[in-house]
Chain A
Amino acid sequence: MANFTPLSAAIGGALIGLSSVLLMLLTGRIAGISGIFAGLLKVRSDDKAWRIAFIAGLLMVPVIAGAIGYGMAAPKLPSSWAVIVAAGLLVGFGTRLGGGCTSGHGICGIGRFSARSIAATVVFMVTAVLTVAVTHHVLGG
Chain B
Amino acid sequence: MWIVAPLVCGLIFGTGLLVSGMVQPTKVLGFLDIFGAWDPSLAVVMAAALAVAAPGFMLARNRSRPVLFGQFFWPGKSDIDAPLVVGAGLFGIGWGLVGLCPGPALESLATLSPRVIVFVAAMTGGMLVHDIWQTSWPLVRRDGPVASAADG
Contacts and interface: CB of A to CB of B under 8 A. Distances in A.
Given A13-B47, A74-B111, A22 B10 contact: no
B78 A115 contact: yes
Is the contact region of chain A dominated by helix, strand, or loop, or is it mixed? helix
Interface residues of B, number: 121
A78 to B, nearest CB: 6
Interface string B10-33: 111111111111111111011011
A107 B35 CA distance: 25
Contacts of B89: 94, 98, 123-124, 127
A94 B93 contact: yes
A93 B150 contact: no
Nearest to B86: A97
Interface string A110-132: 11111111011101111111111
A16 B111 contact: no
B49 A14 contact: yes
A70 B51 CA distance: 27
Interface string B97-120: 111111111111111110110111
B10 to A, nearest CB: 2
A115 to B, nearest CB: 6
Interface in A1-27: 1-6, 8-27
Interface in B35-81: 35-42, 44-54, 56-57, 59-60, 63, 65-69, 71-75, 77-80
A26 B66 contact: yes
A22 B8 contact: yes
Contacts of B65: 28
In this complex, the member of A6, A15, A20, A136 whose beta carbon has the largest number of chain B beta carbons within 10 angstroms is A15
A104 B152 contact: yes
A15 B67 CA distance: 20
Interface in A66-115: 70, 72-78, 81, 83-115
B96 A128 contact: yes
B116 A75 contact: yes
Interface string A24-54: 1111111111110110011000000111011
Given A112-B57, A128-B95, 6 more contacts: A6-B41, A21-B56, A27-B2, A31-B152, A75-B111, A78-B98
